[in-house]
C-alpha cells in the first residue's frame, strides 16, 4: 500500500486499496487555471507532510516552505479580538465566513497538529476535468470527517471553491 506522500507524487497503483471507509471525491472550481491550482495544492501538501514528519510546527518555517502562491492567498492570522467576535456568531455565519475568507498559514499549519486531529483525510488522487474544474479524491476513516483543511489547501492554491461531489 502506498503512503499519502507517494500517492501525492504519483497516482495510486491498481494494487492500492483505500483504507477506512474508502474515498470521498470533491469538485474543485477554478478560474481557468486548474492545472496550476492542482500543481500548487500538491506542492503545498507535500511541503506540509514533510514539515509534519520532521515535527516542525513554527509558522515562519511553514511560510518559507509552502509555495509563494499559497502563502500570498492566505489571509493574515486573526487577532484574539477578531476570533472572539467570530466565535460569538451563529454556527451558520461562522461556516460562511470561514469559506469566504480562507485560512491563514498558521491555521493551515494547526490543522496538521496530530493532537488536534483536524485533518481527517489523506490524499488519494486528483484529475483535471477542464480548465475550470478538477476532481480530488481523499481517503477517509469514517463519515462525517473534517475537510476544512482540504478546502483551505485548494483555496490557498488559488481555487474558487471546493465542494463534495454530488
Task: Report residue 115's pLDDT band, with 50, 70 and 90 as the boundaries.
Answer: confident
Alpha helices in 88-147 (DSSP H): 91-101, 105-110
Place of cell 506542492: 43
What pLDDT sits at residue 103?
82
What pLDDT sits at residue 163?
93
Distance, CA of 153 to CA of 157 (rounded, Å) = 6
Is a pLDDT exceeding 70 seen at residue 1?
Answer: no
Mean pLDDT computed over 7-22: 89
Higher pLDDT, 117 or 153: 153
Distance, CA of 150 to CA of 41 (rounded, Å) = 9
Amino acid at each position: 500500500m502506498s503512503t499519502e506522500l507517494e500517492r501525492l507524487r504519483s497516482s495510486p497503483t491498481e494494487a492500492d486499496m483505500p483504507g477506512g471507509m474508502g474515498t470521498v471525491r470533491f469538485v474543485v472550481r477554478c478560474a481557468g487555471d486548474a492545472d496550476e491550482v492542482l500543481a500548487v495544492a500538491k506542492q503545498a501538501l507535500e511541503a506540509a507532510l514533510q514539515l509534519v514528519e520532521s515535527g516542525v510546527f513554527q509558522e515562519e518555517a511553514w511560510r518559507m516552505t509552502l509555495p509563494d502562491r499559497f502563502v500570498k492567498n492566505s489571509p493574515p492570522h486573526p487577532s484574539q479580538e477578531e476570533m472572539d467576535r467570530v466565535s460569538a456568531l451563529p454556527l451558520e455565519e461562522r461556516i460562511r465566513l470561514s469559506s469566504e475568507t480562507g485560512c491563514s498559514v498558521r491555521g493551515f499549519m494547526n490543522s496538521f497538529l496530530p493532537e488536534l486531529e483536524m485533518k481527517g483525510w489523506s490524499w488519494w488522487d486528483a484529475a483535471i476535468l477542464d480548465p475550470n474544474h478538477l476532481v480530488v479524491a481523499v481517503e477517509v476513516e469514517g463519515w462525517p470527517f473534517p475537510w476544512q483543511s482540504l478546502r483551505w489547501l485548494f483555496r490557498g492554491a488559488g481555487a474558487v471553491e471546493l465542494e463534495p461531489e454530488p
